[in-house]
A and B are shown apart, each in its own frame.
Chain A
Amino acid sequence: MKLACVIHRFGRDVAGGSEAHCRAIAERLAARHTVIVLTTTARDHVTWAEAYPAGESSDGRLRVHRFPVARQRSLARFFESSEVAFGGAASEAEQVQWFRENGPETPALVEHLEAHGGEYDRVLFWSYRYYQTFFGLPSVAARAVLVPTAEDDPAIRLDVLDEFFSLPSGYVFLTPEEQALVARRCSQPLAPSCIVGTGLEPPPATVGSLESVGVTTPYVLYLGRVDPNKGCETLFRHFLRLQDDTVPDAARVPLVLAGPVNMPVPDHPMVRSLGYVADEPREALLAHAAVLVVPSPYESLSIALLEGWNHGVPALVNGRCRVLKGQALRSGGALFYRDFDEFAHALRFLLAHDADRRELGRQGRAYVDREYRWPHVMDTLERFLASLPPVSVPPRR
Protein backbone atom coordinates (compact mmCIF):
# COMPACT_ATOMS: atom_id res chain seq x y z
CA MET A 1 0.00 0.00 0.00
CA LYS A 2 0.99 3.61 -0.45
CA LEU A 3 0.37 5.34 2.87
CA ALA A 4 0.53 8.98 3.94
CA CYS A 5 1.08 9.85 7.60
CA VAL A 6 -0.04 13.40 8.43
CA ILE A 7 1.43 14.97 11.55
CA HIS A 8 1.91 18.56 12.76
CA ARG A 9 5.64 18.14 13.59
CA PHE A 10 8.14 15.52 12.56
CA GLY A 11 11.82 15.10 13.28
CA ARG A 12 14.30 13.09 15.30
CA ASP A 13 14.71 16.06 17.63
CA VAL A 14 10.96 16.58 18.11
CA ALA A 15 9.63 15.63 21.54
CA GLY A 16 5.94 14.97 22.05
CA GLY A 17 3.66 11.99 22.57
CA SER A 18 1.67 11.96 19.33
CA GLU A 19 4.74 12.92 17.26
CA ALA A 20 6.74 10.04 18.74
CA HIS A 21 3.80 7.68 18.20
CA CYS A 22 3.49 8.73 14.55
CA ARG A 23 7.20 8.29 13.96
CA ALA A 24 7.36 4.86 15.59
CA ILE A 25 4.32 3.60 13.64
CA ALA A 26 5.42 5.16 10.32
CA GLU A 27 8.90 3.64 10.56
CA ARG A 28 7.46 0.18 11.18
CA LEU A 29 4.80 0.50 8.47
CA ALA A 30 7.59 1.43 6.04
CA ALA A 31 8.98 -2.09 6.39
CA ARG A 32 6.06 -3.33 4.26
CA HIS A 33 4.58 -0.26 2.58
CA THR A 34 5.59 2.95 0.86
CA VAL A 35 5.20 5.60 3.55
CA ILE A 36 5.25 9.34 2.96
CA VAL A 37 5.12 11.64 5.96
CA LEU A 38 3.22 14.87 5.27
CA THR A 39 4.21 17.43 7.86
CA THR A 40 5.20 21.04 8.47
CA THR A 41 8.40 23.00 8.80
CA ALA A 42 7.71 23.63 12.51
CA ARG A 43 9.69 22.26 15.43
CA ASP A 44 8.57 24.52 18.30
CA HIS A 45 5.18 23.37 19.59
CA VAL A 46 4.33 26.79 21.03
CA THR A 47 5.10 29.19 18.19
CA TRP A 48 5.27 26.76 15.22
CA ALA A 49 8.29 28.77 14.06
CA GLU A 50 9.81 27.33 10.88
CA ALA A 51 12.89 25.24 11.66
CA TYR A 52 13.16 22.72 8.81
CA PRO A 53 13.39 23.52 5.11
CA ALA A 54 10.19 23.04 3.13
CA GLY A 55 10.17 20.35 0.46
CA GLU A 56 10.95 16.66 0.15
CA SER A 57 13.64 14.70 1.97
CA SER A 58 14.23 11.18 3.18
CA ASP A 59 14.56 9.89 6.72
CA GLY A 60 15.56 6.25 6.78
CA ARG A 61 12.88 4.33 4.91
CA LEU A 62 10.51 7.28 5.11
CA ARG A 63 9.93 9.99 2.56
CA VAL A 64 9.16 13.27 4.28
CA HIS A 65 7.31 16.13 2.59
CA ARG A 66 7.34 19.34 4.61
CA PHE A 67 4.93 22.20 3.94
CA PRO A 68 5.59 25.79 5.03
CA VAL A 69 3.85 27.24 8.08
CA ALA A 70 1.88 30.24 6.83
CA ARG A 71 2.05 32.09 10.13
CA GLN A 72 3.37 31.51 13.62
CA ARG A 73 0.93 31.01 16.44
CA SER A 74 -0.04 34.20 18.26
CA LEU A 75 -0.47 33.08 21.85
CA ALA A 76 -2.61 36.11 22.68
CA ARG A 77 -4.99 35.30 19.82
CA PHE A 78 -4.93 31.58 20.64
CA PHE A 79 -5.83 32.18 24.31
CA GLU A 80 -8.53 34.62 23.30
CA SER A 81 -9.92 32.11 20.81
CA SER A 82 -9.78 29.36 23.47
CA GLU A 83 -11.73 31.52 25.90
CA VAL A 84 -14.43 32.04 23.29
CA ALA A 85 -14.49 28.47 21.95
CA PHE A 86 -14.57 26.79 25.37
CA GLY A 87 -16.88 29.36 26.98
CA GLY A 88 -19.91 27.20 26.19
CA ALA A 89 -21.71 29.50 23.75
CA ALA A 90 -19.33 29.64 20.79
CA SER A 91 -20.73 29.74 17.28
CA GLU A 92 -19.63 27.19 14.68
CA ALA A 93 -17.40 29.83 13.06
CA GLU A 94 -15.75 30.62 16.41
CA GLN A 95 -15.09 26.93 17.03
CA VAL A 96 -13.60 26.45 13.56
CA GLN A 97 -11.47 29.53 14.16
CA TRP A 98 -10.01 27.81 17.24
CA PHE A 99 -8.53 25.09 15.02
CA ARG A 100 -7.03 27.79 12.79
CA GLU A 101 -5.50 29.60 15.78
CA ASN A 102 -4.19 26.35 17.22
CA GLY A 103 -2.27 25.78 13.98
CA PRO A 104 0.23 25.09 12.64
CA GLU A 105 -1.50 26.79 9.72
CA THR A 106 -0.28 25.02 6.58
CA PRO A 107 -2.72 25.63 3.71
CA ALA A 108 -0.24 24.10 1.23
CA LEU A 109 -0.51 20.75 3.01
CA VAL A 110 -4.30 20.87 2.80
CA GLU A 111 -4.06 21.80 -0.90
CA HIS A 112 -1.69 18.87 -1.46
CA LEU A 113 -4.26 16.49 0.05
CA GLU A 114 -7.02 18.00 -2.10
CA ALA A 115 -4.94 17.61 -5.25
CA HIS A 116 -3.02 14.39 -4.57
CA GLY A 117 -4.97 12.62 -1.82
CA GLY A 118 -6.24 10.08 -4.34
CA GLU A 119 -2.67 8.86 -4.93
CA TYR A 120 -2.56 7.31 -1.45
CA ASP A 121 -4.34 4.09 -0.50
CA ARG A 122 -4.75 5.35 3.06
CA VAL A 123 -4.04 8.66 4.75
CA LEU A 124 -3.37 8.37 8.47
CA PHE A 125 -3.90 11.55 10.50
CA TRP A 126 -2.53 12.05 14.01
CA SER A 127 -4.29 14.31 16.55
CA TYR A 128 -7.66 15.76 15.64
CA ARG A 129 -6.90 19.10 17.27
CA TYR A 130 -4.34 20.43 14.82
CA TYR A 131 -4.88 22.44 11.66
CA GLN A 132 -3.76 19.90 9.06
CA THR A 133 -6.01 17.17 10.49
CA PHE A 134 -9.10 19.30 11.03
CA PHE A 135 -8.90 21.04 7.65
CA GLY A 136 -7.11 18.32 5.68
CA LEU A 137 -9.06 15.19 6.60
CA PRO A 138 -12.40 16.16 5.00
CA SER A 139 -10.88 16.22 1.50
CA VAL A 140 -9.70 12.59 1.78
CA ALA A 141 -12.34 11.30 4.21
CA ALA A 142 -13.01 8.07 2.30
CA ARG A 143 -9.38 6.98 2.69
CA ALA A 144 -8.67 8.70 6.03
CA VAL A 145 -7.74 6.81 9.18
CA LEU A 146 -7.74 9.03 12.25
CA VAL A 147 -5.51 8.49 15.28
CA PRO A 148 -7.32 11.10 17.40
CA THR A 149 -5.10 11.03 20.54
CA ALA A 150 -8.16 12.48 22.24
CA GLU A 151 -8.21 13.47 25.89
CA ASP A 152 -11.17 14.38 28.05
CA ASP A 153 -10.35 18.09 27.88
CA PRO A 154 -12.32 21.17 26.73
CA ALA A 155 -11.38 20.76 23.05
CA ILE A 156 -13.18 17.43 22.73
CA ARG A 157 -16.44 19.15 23.74
CA LEU A 158 -16.54 21.45 20.70
CA ASP A 159 -19.81 20.89 18.82
CA VAL A 160 -18.17 20.98 15.37
CA LEU A 161 -16.46 17.68 16.18
CA ASP A 162 -19.74 15.77 15.96
CA GLU A 163 -19.69 16.03 12.17
CA PHE A 164 -15.90 15.82 11.94
CA PHE A 165 -15.77 12.50 13.81
CA SER A 166 -18.27 11.02 11.35
CA LEU A 167 -15.88 11.58 8.40
CA PRO A 168 -12.93 9.14 8.69
CA SER A 169 -13.17 5.67 7.18
CA GLY A 170 -11.37 4.18 10.16
CA TYR A 171 -9.98 4.94 13.61
CA VAL A 172 -6.91 3.86 15.49
CA PHE A 173 -7.36 4.38 19.22
CA LEU A 174 -4.82 4.20 21.99
CA THR A 175 -7.16 2.91 24.71
CA PRO A 176 -10.77 1.69 25.05
CA GLU A 177 -11.49 4.86 27.09
CA GLU A 178 -10.39 7.07 24.19
CA GLN A 179 -12.61 5.04 21.86
CA ALA A 180 -15.60 5.55 24.20
CA LEU A 181 -14.85 9.27 24.53
CA VAL A 182 -14.82 9.86 20.76
CA ALA A 183 -17.91 7.68 20.30
CA ARG A 184 -19.74 9.85 22.87
CA ARG A 185 -18.86 12.96 20.87
CA CYS A 186 -20.19 11.59 17.60
CA SER A 187 -23.95 11.27 17.11
CA GLN A 188 -23.47 8.64 14.37
CA PRO A 189 -21.92 5.19 14.83
CA LEU A 190 -18.14 5.45 14.55
CA ALA A 191 -16.27 4.02 11.57
CA PRO A 192 -14.45 0.69 12.12
CA SER A 193 -11.60 0.96 14.58
CA CYS A 194 -8.81 -0.86 16.33
CA ILE A 195 -7.07 -0.20 19.64
CA VAL A 196 -3.31 -0.50 19.41
CA GLY A 197 -1.75 1.77 22.02
CA THR A 198 1.95 1.83 21.36
CA GLY A 199 4.86 -0.58 21.47
CA LEU A 200 7.74 -0.84 23.91
CA GLU A 201 11.03 -2.67 23.64
CA PRO A 202 11.86 -4.91 26.61
CA PRO A 203 13.96 -3.02 29.18
CA PRO A 204 17.75 -3.38 29.01
CA ALA A 205 19.07 -6.47 30.80
CA THR A 206 21.35 -4.32 32.94
CA VAL A 207 20.70 -0.78 34.05
CA GLY A 208 23.18 1.74 35.38
CA SER A 209 23.38 3.02 38.92
CA LEU A 210 21.71 6.11 40.27
CA GLU A 211 25.03 7.73 41.16
CA SER A 212 25.14 9.90 38.06
CA VAL A 213 21.90 11.60 39.09
CA GLY A 214 22.68 11.64 42.82
CA VAL A 215 19.52 9.83 43.87
CA THR A 216 19.28 7.15 46.56
CA THR A 217 16.52 4.58 47.05
CA PRO A 218 13.73 4.48 48.02
CA TYR A 219 12.00 7.22 46.05
CA VAL A 220 8.74 7.96 44.33
CA LEU A 221 9.24 8.87 40.67
CA TYR A 222 7.40 11.35 38.48
CA LEU A 223 8.46 10.99 34.85
CA GLY A 224 7.68 13.51 32.13
CA ARG A 225 7.10 17.21 31.65
CA VAL A 226 6.67 18.98 34.99
CA ASP A 227 3.64 21.05 34.08
CA PRO A 228 0.35 22.15 35.67
CA ASN A 229 -1.51 20.52 32.75
CA LYS A 230 0.04 17.20 33.77
CA GLY A 231 -1.42 17.48 37.28
CA CYS A 232 1.85 18.49 38.91
CA GLU A 233 0.36 21.38 40.92
CA THR A 234 -2.02 18.97 42.63
CA LEU A 235 0.74 16.37 43.03
CA PHE A 236 2.94 18.89 44.83
CA ARG A 237 0.07 19.96 47.09
CA HIS A 238 -0.76 16.35 47.98
CA PHE A 239 2.85 15.32 48.45
CA LEU A 240 3.82 18.28 50.64
CA ARG A 241 0.68 17.89 52.72
CA LEU A 242 1.68 14.27 53.27
CA GLN A 243 5.14 15.41 54.44
CA ASP A 244 3.56 17.91 56.83
CA ASP A 245 1.47 15.17 58.37
CA THR A 246 2.66 14.72 61.95
CA VAL A 247 2.37 10.93 61.88
CA PRO A 248 5.76 9.46 61.01
CA ASP A 249 5.44 6.56 58.60
CA ALA A 250 7.00 4.73 55.69
CA ALA A 251 5.55 7.21 53.20
CA ARG A 252 8.32 9.66 54.02
CA VAL A 253 10.32 9.04 50.89
CA PRO A 254 11.43 11.73 48.46
CA LEU A 255 9.64 12.61 45.26
CA VAL A 256 12.02 12.64 42.29
CA LEU A 257 10.94 14.56 39.19
CA ALA A 258 12.59 13.58 35.91
CA GLY A 259 11.58 15.78 33.00
CA PRO A 260 11.72 19.33 31.66
CA VAL A 261 10.28 21.83 34.11
CA ASN A 262 7.56 24.27 33.01
CA MET A 263 6.40 25.49 36.43
CA PRO A 264 7.80 26.42 39.85
CA VAL A 265 8.90 23.35 41.83
CA PRO A 266 8.49 23.55 45.63
CA ASP A 267 11.70 24.24 47.49
CA HIS A 268 11.44 21.29 49.88
CA PRO A 269 14.06 18.72 50.97
CA MET A 270 11.73 15.87 50.00
CA VAL A 271 11.20 17.11 46.43
CA ARG A 272 14.07 16.68 43.99
CA SER A 273 13.85 17.95 40.42
CA LEU A 274 16.43 16.57 37.98
CA GLY A 275 15.16 18.36 34.86
CA TYR A 276 15.61 16.56 31.54
CA VAL A 277 17.50 13.27 31.94
CA ALA A 278 19.20 11.26 29.19
CA ASP A 279 18.09 7.73 28.27
CA GLU A 280 20.56 5.82 30.45
CA PRO A 281 19.87 7.54 33.80
CA ARG A 282 16.20 7.55 32.84
CA GLU A 283 16.21 3.74 32.60
CA ALA A 284 18.06 3.57 35.93
CA LEU A 285 15.54 5.88 37.59
CA LEU A 286 12.69 3.73 36.30
CA ALA A 287 14.31 0.45 37.29
CA HIS A 288 15.02 1.51 40.89
CA ALA A 289 11.83 3.47 41.68
CA ALA A 290 9.61 2.22 44.49
CA VAL A 291 6.48 3.73 42.93
CA LEU A 292 5.76 5.73 39.79
CA VAL A 293 3.20 8.49 40.26
CA VAL A 294 1.05 9.68 37.33
CA PRO A 295 -1.15 12.64 38.42
CA SER A 296 -2.32 13.79 34.98
CA PRO A 297 -6.05 14.60 34.69
CA TYR A 298 -5.96 14.31 30.87
CA GLU A 299 -4.38 11.40 29.01
CA SER A 300 -5.09 9.48 25.85
CA LEU A 301 -2.37 6.98 26.80
CA SER A 302 0.32 7.36 29.44
CA ILE A 303 3.63 6.19 27.96
CA ALA A 304 5.36 6.91 31.29
CA LEU A 305 3.00 4.49 32.99
CA LEU A 306 3.80 1.79 30.43
CA GLU A 307 7.52 2.47 30.84
CA GLY A 308 7.21 2.05 34.60
CA TRP A 309 5.42 -1.27 34.18
CA ASN A 310 8.02 -2.29 31.59
CA HIS A 311 10.47 -2.17 34.52
CA GLY A 312 8.06 -3.89 36.89
CA VAL A 313 7.37 -0.70 38.87
CA PRO A 314 3.85 -0.31 40.29
CA ALA A 315 2.11 3.02 39.90
CA LEU A 316 -0.19 5.39 41.70
CA VAL A 317 -2.41 7.20 39.19
CA ASN A 318 -5.06 9.91 39.12
CA GLY A 319 -8.38 8.02 39.24
CA ARG A 320 -10.27 11.05 37.92
CA CYS A 321 -8.66 10.37 34.55
CA ARG A 322 -10.70 7.59 32.95
CA VAL A 323 -7.80 6.38 30.81
CA LEU A 324 -5.44 6.01 33.78
CA LYS A 325 -8.07 4.33 35.92
CA GLY A 326 -8.91 1.97 33.04
CA GLN A 327 -5.24 1.12 32.52
CA ALA A 328 -4.81 0.48 36.26
CA LEU A 329 -7.79 -1.88 36.38
CA ARG A 330 -6.95 -3.72 33.15
CA SER A 331 -3.31 -4.24 34.06
CA GLY A 332 -3.60 -4.86 37.78
CA GLY A 333 -0.43 -2.76 38.01
CA ALA A 334 -1.51 0.49 39.67
CA LEU A 335 -3.66 1.91 42.45
CA PHE A 336 -5.66 5.05 41.84
CA TYR A 337 -6.85 8.00 43.96
CA ARG A 338 -9.40 10.76 43.64
CA ASP A 339 -8.40 13.14 46.45
CA PHE A 340 -5.68 13.80 49.00
CA ASP A 341 -6.86 11.26 51.57
CA GLU A 342 -6.95 8.46 49.02
CA PHE A 343 -3.58 9.58 47.63
CA ALA A 344 -2.04 9.46 51.12
CA HIS A 345 -3.53 6.06 52.02
CA ALA A 346 -2.59 4.48 48.69
CA LEU A 347 1.00 5.78 48.77
CA ARG A 348 1.45 4.64 52.36
CA PHE A 349 0.06 1.24 51.44
CA LEU A 350 2.39 0.82 48.48
CA LEU A 351 5.47 1.85 50.44
CA ALA A 352 4.63 -0.30 53.45
CA HIS A 353 3.66 -3.54 51.68
CA ASP A 354 6.63 -4.86 49.74
CA ALA A 355 5.01 -8.09 48.55
CA ASP A 356 1.88 -6.39 47.20
CA ARG A 357 3.98 -3.66 45.62
CA ARG A 358 6.17 -6.22 43.84
CA GLU A 359 3.14 -8.19 42.69
CA LEU A 360 1.46 -5.07 41.31
CA GLY A 361 4.67 -4.29 39.42
CA ARG A 362 4.84 -7.83 38.09
CA GLN A 363 1.23 -7.63 36.91
CA GLY A 364 1.99 -4.32 35.18
CA ARG A 365 4.97 -5.87 33.41
CA ALA A 366 2.87 -8.86 32.31
CA TYR A 367 0.28 -6.45 30.90
CA VAL A 368 2.93 -4.67 28.83
CA ASP A 369 4.23 -8.04 27.60
CA ARG A 370 0.70 -9.01 26.53
CA GLU A 371 -0.47 -5.78 24.92
CA TYR A 372 2.36 -3.37 24.22
CA ARG A 373 5.13 -5.18 22.36
CA TRP A 374 5.77 -3.99 18.80
CA PRO A 375 5.05 -7.26 16.99
CA HIS A 376 1.61 -7.46 18.62
CA VAL A 377 0.87 -3.74 18.00
CA MET A 378 1.91 -3.82 14.33
CA ASP A 379 0.13 -7.10 13.67
CA THR A 380 -3.12 -5.57 15.01
CA LEU A 381 -2.63 -2.40 12.97
CA GLU A 382 -1.71 -4.21 9.73
CA ARG A 383 -4.72 -6.51 10.00
CA PHE A 384 -6.95 -3.51 10.64
CA LEU A 385 -5.65 -1.53 7.64
CA ALA A 386 -6.07 -4.59 5.41
CA SER A 387 -9.63 -5.08 6.65
CA LEU A 388 -10.82 -1.59 5.63
CA PRO A 389 -12.96 -1.59 2.46
CA PRO A 390 -11.24 -0.47 -0.73
CA VAL A 391 -11.61 3.20 -1.59
CA SER A 392 -13.64 3.97 -4.69
CA VAL A 393 -14.45 7.59 -4.03
CA PRO A 394 -12.14 10.11 -5.72
CA PRO A 395 -10.75 12.78 -3.38
CA ARG A 396 -12.80 15.97 -3.05
CA ARG A 397 -11.35 18.92 -4.94
Chain B
Amino acid sequence: MNDVPAGVSVDRLVRAIEDEVRQERRERMVARGGPDDYRDHRVYAEVERVLRRAAEREDAGTSPLLLPELAADDESLRLQTHLRFASHRRVTGGFLVFAKRRLLLPLTRWLYQYARDNFKRQERINRLLFACVEELAIENAKLRGELGARQAVPPPSSDASQ
Protein backbone atom coordinates (compact mmCIF):
# COMPACT_ATOMS: atom_id res chain seq x y z
CA MET B 1 0.00 0.00 0.00
CA ASN B 2 1.48 3.32 -1.09
CA ASP B 3 1.64 6.65 0.66
CA VAL B 4 -0.87 9.48 0.38
CA PRO B 5 -0.61 11.15 -3.02
CA ALA B 6 0.09 14.84 -3.51
CA GLY B 7 -2.89 17.13 -4.12
CA VAL B 8 -5.60 17.90 -1.56
CA SER B 9 -4.49 16.73 1.87
CA VAL B 10 -7.23 14.88 3.74
CA ASP B 11 -5.29 15.24 6.98
CA ARG B 12 -5.08 19.02 6.57
CA LEU B 13 -8.77 19.38 5.65
CA VAL B 14 -9.93 17.23 8.55
CA ARG B 15 -7.69 19.11 11.00
CA ALA B 16 -9.17 22.42 9.80
CA ILE B 17 -12.69 21.05 10.27
CA GLU B 18 -11.82 19.75 13.75
CA ASP B 19 -10.38 23.17 14.70
CA GLU B 20 -13.55 24.92 13.51
CA VAL B 21 -15.77 22.49 15.38
CA ARG B 22 -13.67 22.84 18.55
CA GLN B 23 -13.91 26.62 18.42
CA GLU B 24 -17.68 26.60 17.84
CA ARG B 25 -18.32 24.01 20.53
CA ARG B 26 -16.25 25.94 23.08
CA GLU B 27 -18.09 29.17 22.33
CA ARG B 28 -21.43 27.36 22.57
CA MET B 29 -20.52 25.86 25.93
CA VAL B 30 -19.36 29.19 27.32
CA ALA B 31 -22.53 30.89 26.05
CA ARG B 32 -24.66 28.25 27.76
CA GLY B 33 -22.95 28.78 31.10
CA GLY B 34 -20.28 26.07 30.87
CA PRO B 35 -17.11 26.17 33.01
CA ASP B 36 -15.47 29.60 33.06
CA ASP B 37 -12.09 27.99 32.41
CA TYR B 38 -13.29 27.20 28.89
CA ARG B 39 -12.89 30.87 28.00
CA ASP B 40 -9.22 29.95 27.63
CA HIS B 41 -9.11 27.96 24.37
CA ARG B 42 -5.93 26.18 25.47
CA VAL B 43 -7.62 24.80 28.59
CA TYR B 44 -10.62 23.69 26.55
CA ALA B 45 -8.44 22.03 23.91
CA GLU B 46 -6.48 20.16 26.59
CA VAL B 47 -9.66 18.94 28.32
CA GLU B 48 -11.08 17.81 24.99
CA ARG B 49 -7.85 16.02 24.13
CA VAL B 50 -7.87 14.00 27.35
CA LEU B 51 -11.57 13.11 27.22
CA ARG B 52 -11.47 12.25 23.54
CA ARG B 53 -8.53 9.94 24.06
CA ALA B 54 -10.52 8.15 26.77
CA ALA B 55 -13.60 7.93 24.53
CA GLU B 56 -11.56 6.58 21.61
CA ARG B 57 -9.92 4.05 23.85
CA GLU B 58 -13.32 2.90 25.02
CA ASP B 59 -14.53 2.85 21.39
CA ALA B 60 -11.74 0.46 20.49
CA GLY B 61 -13.02 -1.75 23.30
CA THR B 62 -10.01 -4.03 23.17
CA SER B 63 -7.78 -2.34 25.72
CA PRO B 64 -8.29 -3.48 29.30
CA LEU B 65 -9.19 -0.97 32.00
CA LEU B 66 -7.33 -0.91 35.29
CA LEU B 67 -10.08 0.16 37.68
CA PRO B 68 -12.26 -2.94 37.26
CA GLU B 69 -9.10 -5.07 37.66
CA LEU B 70 -8.30 -3.36 40.95
CA ALA B 71 -11.78 -3.87 42.36
CA ALA B 72 -11.91 -6.80 44.75
CA ASP B 73 -14.53 -8.52 42.63
CA ASP B 74 -14.77 -7.06 39.14
CA GLU B 75 -17.81 -9.23 38.42
CA SER B 76 -19.78 -7.11 40.85
CA LEU B 77 -19.09 -4.03 38.69
CA ARG B 78 -20.42 -5.65 35.54
CA LEU B 79 -24.04 -5.39 34.46
CA GLN B 80 -25.39 -8.82 33.65
CA THR B 81 -27.41 -8.26 30.50
CA HIS B 82 -28.27 -11.88 29.77
CA LEU B 83 -30.62 -14.24 31.53
CA ARG B 84 -29.27 -17.47 32.94
CA PHE B 85 -31.97 -20.08 33.39
CA ALA B 86 -31.40 -22.42 36.27
CA SER B 87 -33.25 -24.15 39.06
CA HIS B 88 -32.04 -25.61 42.34
CA ARG B 89 -34.83 -28.22 42.39
CA ARG B 90 -33.54 -31.65 41.51
CA VAL B 91 -36.76 -33.28 40.38
CA THR B 92 -38.78 -30.48 38.86
CA GLY B 93 -35.77 -28.35 37.89
CA GLY B 94 -35.69 -29.43 34.25
CA PHE B 95 -39.36 -28.65 33.81
CA LEU B 96 -39.03 -25.25 35.50
CA VAL B 97 -36.08 -24.25 33.30
CA PHE B 98 -38.02 -25.40 30.23
CA ALA B 99 -41.06 -23.38 31.33
CA LYS B 100 -38.99 -20.27 31.97
CA ARG B 101 -37.18 -20.51 28.65
CA ARG B 102 -40.05 -21.61 26.42
CA LEU B 103 -43.10 -20.00 28.04
CA LEU B 104 -42.16 -17.10 30.30
CA LEU B 105 -39.35 -15.63 28.19
CA PRO B 106 -41.35 -15.40 24.93
CA LEU B 107 -44.18 -13.69 26.84
CA THR B 108 -41.87 -11.15 28.44
CA ARG B 109 -39.31 -10.82 25.63
CA TRP B 110 -40.31 -7.24 24.78
CA LEU B 111 -39.68 -6.15 28.36
CA TYR B 112 -36.43 -8.12 28.49
CA GLN B 113 -35.17 -6.57 25.25
CA TYR B 114 -36.14 -3.05 26.35
CA ALA B 115 -34.30 -3.52 29.64
CA ARG B 116 -31.33 -5.19 27.94
CA ASP B 117 -30.82 -2.31 25.49
CA ASN B 118 -30.82 0.14 28.39
CA PHE B 119 -28.46 -2.05 30.40
CA LYS B 120 -26.11 -2.05 27.44
CA ARG B 121 -26.21 1.75 27.25
CA GLN B 122 -25.51 1.94 30.98
CA GLU B 123 -22.64 -0.53 30.60
CA ARG B 124 -21.15 1.62 27.86
CA ILE B 125 -21.46 4.74 30.01
CA ASN B 126 -19.78 2.92 32.88
CA ARG B 127 -16.86 1.86 30.68
CA LEU B 128 -16.58 5.38 29.29
CA LEU B 129 -16.42 6.82 32.80
CA PHE B 130 -13.83 4.23 33.87
CA ALA B 131 -11.78 5.13 30.79
CA CYS B 132 -12.04 8.88 31.61
CA VAL B 133 -10.97 8.33 35.22
CA GLU B 134 -8.04 6.22 34.03
CA GLU B 135 -7.01 8.82 31.44
CA LEU B 136 -7.06 11.53 34.12
CA ALA B 137 -5.05 9.29 36.45
CA ILE B 138 -2.46 8.76 33.70
CA GLU B 139 -2.24 12.52 33.11
CA ASN B 140 -1.90 13.07 36.85
CA ALA B 141 0.87 10.47 37.12
CA LYS B 142 2.79 12.06 34.24
CA LEU B 143 2.44 15.56 35.71
CA ARG B 144 3.59 14.30 39.11
CA GLY B 145 6.60 12.73 37.41
CA GLU B 146 7.47 15.97 35.62
CA LEU B 147 6.94 18.01 38.79
CA GLY B 148 9.16 15.62 40.76
CA ALA B 149 11.90 15.86 38.15
CA ARG B 150 11.78 19.67 38.20
CA GLN B 151 11.90 19.79 42.00
CA ALA B 152 14.93 17.48 41.98
CA VAL B 153 16.90 19.93 39.84
CA PRO B 154 18.36 22.74 42.03
CA PRO B 155 17.29 26.21 40.87
CA PRO B 156 20.02 28.23 39.16
CA SER B 157 21.93 30.28 41.74
CA SER B 158 21.47 34.06 41.70
CA ASP B 159 25.25 34.47 41.11
CA ALA B 160 24.99 32.77 37.77
CA SER B 161 22.78 35.52 36.39
CA GLN B 162 25.17 38.29 37.36
Contacts and interface: CB of A to CB of B under 8 A. Distances in A.
Given A152-B60, A342-B17, A371-B2, A83 B81 contact: yes
A329 B15 CA distance: 12
Contact of B8 (A332, A336, A342, A345): A332
Interface in A60-119: 76, 80, 83-84, 87-89
A336 B14 contact: yes
B53 interface: no
Given A176-B1, A329-B10, A363-B7, A87 B83 contact: no
Interface string B24-61: 11000000000000000000000000000000100111
Contact of A362 (B7, B61, B82): B7
Contacts of B84: 84
A319 B75 CA distance: 32
Interface in B92-116: 105, 116
B162 to A, nearest CB: 54
A329 B4 contact: yes
Contacts of B116: 83
Contacts of B56: 320
Contacts of B2: 330, 370-371
Nearest to A345: B17
Contacts of A238: none
Nearest to B81: A83
Interface string A351-373: 00000100110110011001100
Contacts of A185: 62
Given A157-B62, A332-B8, A356-B8, A87 B1 contact: no
B5 A332 contact: yes
B: interface residue count bin: 20 to 34
B62 A152 contact: yes
A232 to B, nearest CB: 17
B111 to A, nearest CB: 15
A128 to B, nearest CB: 15
Contact of B24 (A152, A181, A341, A346): A341
B17 A334 contact: no
Question: Does more than half of chain A's interface fall in helix, strand or loop, or is it mixed?
Answer: helix
Contacts, number: 85
A105 B3 CA distance: 43
Nearest to A156: B62
Contacts of B14: 319, 335-336, 346
Contacts of A320: 56, 59
B146 interface: no
A342 B10 contact: no
Interface string A306-340: 00000000000001101000001111111111000
B82 A342 contact: no
Interface in A176-216: 176, 181, 184-185, 195
B158 interface: no
A106 to B, nearest CB: 26
A349 interface: yes
Contact of B10 (A89, A157, A328): A328
Given A83-B82, A157-B62, A356-B13, A342 B5 contact: no
Nearest to A322: B60
Contact of B5 (A76, A156, A349, A363): A363
Listed residue (B7, B20, B25) with the most chain A CB atoms within 10 angstroms of its CB: B7
Contacts of A335: 10, 13-14, 17
A359 B4 contact: no
Given A176-B1, A341-B21, A345-B21, A332 B9 contact: yes
B80 interface: yes
Nearest to A321: B59
A332 B62 contact: no
Interface string A152-170: 1010110000000000000
A184 B7 contact: no
A287 to B, nearest CB: 21
B121 interface: no
B83 A80 contact: yes
Contacts of A157: 61-62
Closest 5 CB pairs of A and B: A83-B82, A341-B21, A359-B8, A345-B17, A332-B4
Interface of B: 1-5, 7-11, 13-14, 17-18, 20-21, 24-25, 56, 59-62, 75, 78, 80-84, 105, 116
16 contacts: A83-B81, A83-B116, A84-B82, A89-B75, A152-B60, A176-B1, A195-B1, A320-B59, A332-B10, A336-B10, A336-B14, A341-B21, A341-B25, A360-B10, A363-B5, A366-B5
